[in-house]
Amino acid sequence: MSTEQYTYQYPHPAVATDCVVFGFDGRELKVLLIERGIDPFKGMWAFPGGFMRMDETAEECILRELKEETGLQLTTIKQLGTFTGINRDPRERVISIAFYSLSPDTEVHGGDDATNARWWPIDDIPQLAFDHDYILRQAMKRIRQDIHFEPVGFGLLREEFTMAELQRLYESILGIHFDRRNFYKKMLQTGILHEVSETDSPSYYGKRREMVSMDIDNLFADHAATDNGIPRLFMAQSLPDCDMDDETPSLHSSPRQQPGRKGKLFRFDKEGYDRMKEEGNFRLEF
Amino acid sequence: MSTEQYTYQYPHPAVATDCVVFGFDGRELKVLLIERGIDPFKGMWAFPGGFMRMDETAEECILRELKEETGLQLTTIKQLGTFTGINRDPRERVISIAFYSLSPDTEVHGGDDATNARWWPIDDIPQLAFDHDYILRQAMKRIRQDIHFEPVGFGLLREEFTMAELQRLYESILGIHFDRRNFYKKMLQTGILHEVSETDSPSYYGKRREMVSMDIDNLFADHAATDNGIPRLFMAQSLPDCDMDDETPSLHSSPRQQPGRKGKLFRFDKEGYDRMKEEGNFRLEF
DNA sequence: ACAAAAGTGTTTGGGATACACCCATGC
DNA sequence: GCATGGGTGTATCCCAAACACTTTTGT
């Protein structure tokens, strides 16, 4: 396999893919990064990704690279944008088709060109290779926008989750604080949550009374772009008073609540969501 | 200029750009298409676009191609997505970075590889080359989504416009009908419209009492993605009763109102829009 | 048993919706 | 002067926001 094998009449840029994978551990939003094992930017952190082959689409490419470099087997990704800065890669002209994705906070490991892979808190990202810090900012904007129209967040949670976890997730993504009781009501009245009874729950850990959980699967991809053309407003924010809970004495430190969680568990109710979509009167607004 | 000049160690796809340009003539939504003058798909209609050069970004490329092929000099475009189907071009592997844009309904003419260029009503699109019908559907979804967060539509109108024109534009894009009076109120109370007095108006044609108009310029690009991260909800739809106007006897045929238009003229109030953005309490919902 | 957090109310005020009237223009 | 469409006001109703109390869980 010598060099200089592929020739074209006109110059072609190389085409790569990158993916911003968001995760959530119940407390804060995280991003999956790999430590580059090869130059350029060897030793620096970057998003998983790699060069596209001629027999795969960009989507197939990034899913393959994700598996190779981090062990993560995702199925649902969403295009974020394509970055075509002329000098974004020192080797040659490389354009990057960037995706983003939501993942439960699972184990990852380095592999292939990545010497290491780990989750980084969104507030503590190291310096990134290429133009990846710019891409990350774009991804943050995007997820905050998408969450208004789609039950985006559920992809970040385990199948069963408490209302508190769901609320913290929304607060993490949007960067605002909701009234616990109103959040509870709003979420329930959307009809997209399914309360899990104790016996239903397969992964029941602890001895709570009841549990609620969610179905999701690849809901994210299904509704990435709404199919009737008119997107549903899933959740809008209006920056209310953002007060602390009334009775809460004061708790300005970072929120606690470790995995030893309390409360009902919920599932995402895919059927309920589809039903709401049909009727067209689906709206959640904070 | 012989063939086979550029060689690479690994195969590279060709990278092209395409742009879905929306226009509005006061009655219906249109799309700018070119008739292809060269193979493949010679004689068929397609979006303006072309191959990216090595010294230009995708954005620069599509703006150049737009000018070459249609004479249109736009400044504000927005990425729609990148299409990477393996056989979407019969010549070789070509991926397309697609954009969309909003343009006042101006004169266009064919040029370069385009034998012809014209506006097509959104409801009467000819068969399109490549995967451009798919791209068009994606663009429609996208504009309908974006209109909720940004004053997107104004880019499609002349600098000064009547409230009726604005309403028809929104109705065209969203595909629903609004109550004239409520639309009027909603739009005014957003604070993004500026009523133009008769004397203010530079392009005052007719002898109406007053006029309102808009400032816009390249507002579209400015707020394509909100910069504080949290997007403002510009306009949400909730599919109300969609009744005909009460006193209107019945008018189920297509809406009339030729350019000989009546009523106050408005401008987009950029300062007002920025102010609303600052305060964060900006919301328009139908 | 105590603290902390979860579950579930009620009230209220603002805004979206529905609806009517007057006026201006044009044939 | 009659028809068409534009400008503006009002009442209602719904829902989001604000707020409090009880129950459950963990130690």
pLDDT band at B45; cut points 50, 70, 90? very high
What's the confidence (pLDDT) of residue A278?
Answer: 65
Pair of tokens at residue A77: 């990704």
Q: Which among A74, A95, A75 has a CA at the least distance from the CA of A84?
A: A95
**φ/ψ bin of A94: left (φ > 0), alpha (ψ from -120 to 50), beta (otherwise):** beta
**CA–C1' distance B167–C22 (Å)?**
22
What's the confidence (pLDDT) of residue B218?
Answer: 35
For residue A213, the one-letter residue type is S
Whether B57 has a pLDDT exceeding 90, the answer reads: yes
CA B232/CA A238 separation, integer angstroms? 8
What's the confidence (pLDDT) of residue A238?
Answer: 37
Q: Does A143 touch chain B (CB under 8 A)?
A: no
- Alpha carbon A94 to chain centroid distance? 25
Pair of tokens at residue B206: 């007719």
**C1' nearest to CA of B164: which nucleotide?**
D6
Strand D reaches within 7 A of the A262 CB: yes
Q: Which among B54, B50, B76 has a CA at the least distance from the CA of B62?
A: B50
**Which DSSP string do the residues of B164-230 spell out, in sequence order?**
HHHHHHHHHHH-----HHHHHHHHHHHT-EEEPPTTT-TT--S--S---B---TTHHHHTSS-TTSS
Whether B211 has a pLDDT exceeding 60, the answer reads: no
Mean pLDDT of chain B: 77
Q: Which residues contact B224 (CB under 8 A, 6 or more apart)?
A: B76, B78, B146, B150
Q: What is the pTM of this model?
A: 0.81
Mean pLDDT of chain A: 77
Q: Does B240 touch chain A (CB under 8 A)?
A: no
pLDDT in tens, A134-145: 999 999 999 988
* Neighbouring-strand partners of residue A238: none
Peptide bond into B255 cis (omega under 30): no
Measured between CA atoms, how close is A267 to chain B, in angstroms?
26
Shortest CB distance from A175 goes to which of B5, B84, B230? Answer: B230
Q: Which residues contact A247 (CB under 8 A, 6 or more apart)?
A: none
Whether B42 has a pLDDT exceeding 80, the answer reads: yes
The fraction of chain A above a pLDDT of 90, given in percent, is: 47
For the residues A159-188, what does the mean pLDDT come to? 91
Whether B204 has a pLDDT exceeding 60, the answer reads: no
What is the distance in angstroms between the CA of the first residue and the CA of the last residue of chain B?
Answer: 58
- Alpha carbon B53 to chain centroid distance? 25
CA A210/CA A8 separation, integer angstroms? 64
Query: Do the Cβ atoms of A5 and B7 come within 8 Å?
Result: yes
- Give, as one character, the DSSP assignment of residue B160: B
Q: Which of B46-60, B123-137, B237-251 has the lowest mean pLDDT?
A: B237-251
What's the confidence (pLDDT) of residue B174?
Answer: 87
Nucleotides of D under 7 A from a protein CB: 4-10, 15-22, 24-27
CA B29/CA B21 separation, integer angstroms? 10
Nucleotides of C under 7 A from a protein CB: 4-10, 15-22, 24-26
- CB < 8 Å to B5, chain A: 7-10
Shortest CB distance from A85 goes to which of B57, B142, B238? Answer: B57
Whether B179 has a pLDDT exceeding 50, the answer reads: yes
Residue A139 vs residue A150, higher pLDDT: A139
For residue B247, count other CB atoms closer than 10 A to its CB.
Answer: 5
3-state secondary structure chain A: CCCCCEEECCCCCEEEEEEEEEEECCCCEEEEEEEECCCCCCCCEECCEEECCCCCCHHHHHHHHHHHHHCCCCCCCEEEEEECCCCCCCCCCEEEEEEEEEEECCCCCCCCCEEEEEEEECCCCCCECCCHHHHHHHHHHHHHHHCCCCCHHHHHCCCEEEHHHHHHHHHHHHCCCCCHHHHHHHHHHHCCEEECCCCCCCCCCCCCCCCCECCCCCHHHHCCCCCCCCCCEEEECCCCCCCCCCCCCCCCCCCCCCCCCCCCEEEECHHHHHHHHHHCCCEEEC
Q: Which among B138, B156, B174 has a CA at the least distance from the CA of B18?
A: B138
pLDDT in tens, A199-222: 444 444 433 333 444 433 333 333
Instruction: With beta carbons less than 8 A apart as the criterion, state whether A195 and A210 touch.
Output: yes
Whether A225 has a pLDDT exceeding 60, the answer reads: no
pLDDT in tens, B115-170: 799 999 999 999 999 999 999 999 999 998 888 777 877 888 888 899 999 999 99
Q: Which residues contact B42 (CB under 8 A, 6 or more apart)?
A: B36
Q: Which residues contact B66 (CB under 8 A, 6 or more apart)?
A: B19, B21, B48, B72, B73, B74, B101
Residues of chain B numbered 195-214 and touching chain A (CB < 8 Å): none
For the residues A176-186, what does the mean pLDDT come to? 93
Strand D reaches within 7 A of the B246 CB: no
For residue A148, count other CB atoms closer than 10 A to its CB.
Answer: 26
For residue B215, count other CB atoms closer than 10 A to its CB.
Answer: 17
Instruction: With beta carbons less than 8 A apart as the criterion, state whether B275 and B281 touch.
Output: no
What is the β-pairing status of strands B233-236 and B283-285? parallel
For the residues A185-194, what does the mean pLDDT come to? 87
What's the confidence (pLDDT) of residue A260?
Answer: 57
Instruction: With beta carbons less than 8 A apart as the criterion, state whether B146 and B140 touch.
Output: no
The fraction of chain B above a pLDDT of 70, given in percent, is: 71
Whether B245 has a pLDDT exceeding 50, the answer reads: no
Instruction: With beta carbons less than 8 A apart as the criterion, state whether B234 and B284 touch.
Output: yes
What's the confidence (pLDDT) of residue A286?
Answer: 52
For the residues B14-35, what does the mean pLDDT come to? 93
Tally the residues of chain B. 286
Q: Which residues contact B87 (CB under 8 A, 6 or more apart)?
A: none
pLDDT in tens, A256-276: 334 456 888 998 888 888 777
Q: Ranked by mean pLDDT, which of A18-32, A52-66, A266-280, B194-208 comes out on top?
A: A52-66
Residues of chain B numbered 56-115 and touching chain A (CB < 8 Å): 56-59, 79, 81-82, 84-86, 92-93, 95, 97
